[in-house]
Amino acid sequence: MSYEDYEAALEDLRADALAWSDLAETFSAAKTIVAGCRLAMYEMDGIGHMLGAEANYNEAHTTIQGLADRAPTVFTEISDKLLDTKRRYEEADGYSQWLLDQG
């Protein structure tokens, strides 16, 4: 692996971390939108209620709300792990010697 390849790999880790961080921000905004999609009491007609559509909607909404609520945290953790991996590669004992060997 050349020095340029190594630097490109480290840059890829940084770029991927930024993408995950951007997703965390996006889902922070999206969870507010998802919360607003909750059905008001008796918003569906009696048929929809009797057929279970209201319960299905509410169950799906609860699942999606849970995912949207957790997404920013999970995506931030992924971003942090990628940045930590990059940092560890840069701080590795052999890194300085490897750079010197590359001339």
Question: What is residue 1's predicted lDDT score, i.e. its pLDDT?
Answer: 66
Q: 72, 25 in Cβ contact below 8 A? A: yes
| pTM score of the predicted model | 0.75
Question: What is residue 7's predicted lDDT score, i.e. its pLDDT?
Answer: 84
**pLDDT tens for the chain, residues 1 to 103:** 677 887 888 899 999 999 999 999 999 999 999 988 887 666 677 777 777 888 888 899 999 999 999 999 999 999 999 999 999 888 876 666 676 677 6
Angle at 85 between CA 88 and CA 24, to 5 degrees: 140
Question: What is residue 41's predicted lDDT score, i.e. its pLDDT?
Answer: 63
